Structure 1
Amino acid sequence: MSSLPARSVIEFSQFDQLRDAREIIFSEADALRQMGRALGTELCDAVDLIMSRNGAVILTGMGKAGLIGQKICATLSSTGTRSHFLHPAEAIHGDLGCLHAEDTILALSNSGETEELRRLLPLIQKMKLPIIGITARTTSTLGAACQVVLCLGDLKEAGSHQLAPSTTTTAMLAMGDALSLVISKARGFSPLQFATFHPGGSLGRRLTKINEVMRPRTEVRVTEETTSIRDAFVRLSLPGRRSGAVIIIDDANRVTGIFTDSDLARLLEERRDEQLDQPISQVMTRKPATIQDDASLETAIDLLKARKLSELPVVDRGQHLVGLIDITDVIGWQPGVESASVSQQSG
């Protein structure tokens, strides 16, 4: 039996690998800059078209372009624009039924000649739905069917063979991100709205409102300025999570001061026991830092860290006490927040 000739092995050093990887990244970055410089008011036309309609944005594309379309669809949805992905091959087998008269189509194809997309376009036109295309040329089949074309231009794929979709899909993604985020800004989409769509992620947790995680007023030790320190700690004992702070209020339920465990410890260390039966107003911290109940949790954490506080009274817009944020309640909500880095609030 004859054996196959032995193949020579060409060593591909790390230097060569890094050089090729950098060239690929640089070539894609250069393509994005080129596309960005060439971008004109057609993007504004696409924004106006989408915002003028009450339906969803329907993304469609085949293969790698379809995968990019799914990512753009997710970006639109998470930044305030309803969107869905429609597979072009499945569309002609019944999924066209998901389309609504107020929807807008956003179709992706670098060549603009993808067979499945070409079969779908006449059906969309028959339904009189406007089409926005992300494609290389306005003269392609897709480009000719569109009301607005976001043109990528003639881009070369990255890599030695320039075959695998790489630069073109990167450009599609960047164009989709630009469109999505410009629309989001035009809608006035806020960080708190973003948090509503991302309740499970770190971003959503950071942007959670204070009133969703604070201890309500019923679980906070609250007293008047005339109450003695001893009574404040003995009489105001509460079940459940213990906080090291007593919040002092006036007759209008507005915060006038705070007295903490560290304040009590200081009195005992300095042998000022006689003050335990004096009004708490004599030793409380006046005009303590507070935070409004509609602020974000991230804002509260930043304030706790910056002021080196352990407790933060929560007030409404009228400055009335509604609750309390304790450092033990928020440890773990944001990376890098450690109990050791936050000291007690002192008077």
Structure 2
Amino acid sequence: MNLAKNIKLIAKNVLINESDAIKNIALLIDDEFEAIVRAIIESKGRVVITGIGKSAIIANKIVATMNSTGTPALFMHAADAIHGDLGMVQPDDFVICISKSGNTPEIKVLVPLIKRTGCTLVGLVSNTDSFLAQHSDFTLNATIGEEACPHNLAPTTSTTAHLALGDALAVALLEAKGFTSEDFGRYHPGGALGKQLYLKVDDIYPANEKPIVSTDTPLKDCIIEISSKRLGAAVVIDKDDKIIGVITDGDLRRMLQENPSLDGLTASDVMGKDPKTIEAGEYAVKAFNVMQENNITQIIVTNEEKFVGFVHLHDLLREGII
């Protein structure tokens, strides 16, 4: 077997090993898992997650996931805990201790100290006969067959299993608490993801001009209105201020190709009917989706069916929505 094929086979075997382990752990989800979720929800404390070595790295990630999904969580390194950091643990807290073997020297020292605080201890382990499992109030069973490492030594499959089980716990808590996308947006205000979850149309359109013409506005004046307001379009309204159409740069170009003379032409001769609109209170990402679906670069903003402005594709690019 040549080297290239061997490398690909190794990679595939690792992924198969780890995916099979996660499937097997799914079969281990039982009433105790549900009891942990319910107990955390009813608790007045926080979730403190600890571990050492690779388990500490996994603990950090689970903490980040919980904090971003509505479950307050703290990371405590198992080695630092016995040198002062244990002071962060309060009696109402849930401490989740992550360890593959559950028998490491640091864990054996730490577990009795954690229990002495009066908090609830959850052992996330791959060995349910371990010291940690036997001294925990609850156990999260992450038993695996073997590591993906050919020597069955390097934490690979076990850390993947621990991470996946932590994600399962975080998502179960999220759903049980009724955590919404709006809640998620409050915890993720930065970047494109945050803006998709909280930025609304009425945060954008007031900064833009309001190009507007009536049905009988001469086409020359329509061109001036569109050009001066720099949005590539103008809304067409009737005498009752009702939106009846829109004129875009594209409409003007197509009209000039068919009829080079502007004489006698008005907005009603060129406008597109049934223009796409969006209410001011909608999320900006919805405006983008409508533009994308209809292959347009601007959308009319309304408030109770009255014209209030435009949002342009460039606005969404500038805000980082796209």
> Which TM-score applies when normalising by structure 2?
0.84
Query: 2:262 maps to which residue?
Result: 273
State the partner residue of 1:119: 109
Aligned to 2:297: 310
Equivalent residues in 2 for 1:1-347 (5 A)?
13-211=3-201, 214-216=204-206, 219-225=209-215, 227-234=217-224, 242-249=230-237, 255-269=243-257, 270-271=259-260, 273-276=262-265, 278=266, 280-281=267-268, 283-316=270-303, 318-331=304-317, 333=320
Q: CA RMSD in A?
A: 3.1
Give the superposition deviation at 1:143: 1.9
Shift of 1:172: 0.2
Identity %: 32
Unaligned residue ranges in structure 2 (runs of 5+):
none
**Superposed CA offset, 1:77-130 (max 9, x none):** 222222221112212322233334543222211122233233333333233222
In the superposition, relative to structure 1, how do residues 126 and 223 fare at CA in structure 2: closer, same or farther (>3 Å)?
Answer: farther
Aligned residue identity for 1:285: G
Q: 1: distance between equivalents of 2:243 and 2:31?
A: 53
Distance 1:135 1:223, change over 3 A: same
Alpha-carbon separation, structure 1, partners of 2:243 and 2:122:
56
Residues 217 and 323, structure 1, Cα contact 8 Å, conserved in 2:
no
Structure 1 residue 177, shift from structure 2 partner: 1.0
Q: Distance between the aligned counterparts of 1:254 and 1:125, measured in 2?
A: 70
Give TM-score scaled by structure 1 length.
0.79
Report the number of matched residues: 320
Amino acid at match of 2:98: L
**Equivalent position amino acid for 1:64 in 2:** K
- Secondary structure at 1:122's aligned position in 2? helix
Alignment partner, residue 4 of structure 1: none
Name the amino acid aligned to 1:67. Answer: I
Q: Distance in 2 between matches of 1:20 and 1:236?
A: 61
Question: Greater helix share, 1 or 2?
Answer: 2
Q: Which moved more, 1:96-105 or 1:162-171?
A: 96-105
Contact 2:66 2:170 (C-alpha < 8 Å) held by counterparts:
yes
The alpha-carbon deviation at position 225 of structure 1 amounts to 4.8
Is the partner of 2:151 in helix, strand or coil?
A: coil
Q: Give deviations 1:254-274, integer Å, cap 9, x for gaps.
A: 644322222333444414523
Q: Which runs of 5 or more structure 1 residues have no equivalent in the other structure?
A: 1-10, 336-347
